[in-house]
A = this chain, B = another copy of it.
Amino acid sequence: MSDNQTDKTVEMVSETHASKRPYADALLRLKQVGLRPTRQRMALAKLLFDGGDQHITAEDLHGMARKATVKVSLATVYNTLHQFKESGLLREVVVGPGRSYFDTNTHAHHHFYVEPAGELVDIPVDSVELSRLPSPPDGTVMDRVDVIIRVTQA
């Protein structure tokens, strides 16, 4: 519901005001989670959320920023990604040692992991049916279930 609302706003902005107010959506998101809309965060938010679902590494995002001539340090990229993750604007998906991606799709969903390309592909949550799950170990409570289907390029 809150997600739905956000999505609607995004659509509106990108469809009707994007050229006039290209930072409206980024600004909104930052306001919603209580982070100051600094130049760097605005630019990173725009890069992250302006182009559909993405699975991106910190280095990738830093590279995109540089290509877009946004002056931002790698440390800030890391800071920002973690703040966005803590705020629920992003999820982190870990697929291999030293391979972690930030995912702009924060809805419940699963992943194909294509090796050796190292590419992540979303799987809608309802196209996987987990009809039986074991109960968690004593003294623990279930947080979430991640399904990663590892596939290889034929």
A152 touches B145 (CB 8 A): no
A residues adjacent to B (C-beta < 8 A) = 92, 94-100, 112, 114-115, 121, 123-124, 127-134, 136-137, 139-154
**8 nearest A-B pairs in the assembled complex, by CB-CB distance:** A129-B132, A140-B151, A97-B100, A143-B150, A127-B134, A136-B151, A129-B131, A131-B131
Write the chain B residue with the least CB distance to A132. B129
| Integer count of this chain's copies in the complex | 2
Which of A115, A149, A152 has the most chain B CB atoms inside 10 A of its CB? Answer: A149
Q: Which of B98, B142, B143 contacts A98 (CB 8 A)?
A: B98
A151 touches B142 (CB 8 A): yes
Q: Compute how far the CA of A123 lies from the CA of B136 in the bound complex, rounded to whole angstroms.
A: 10
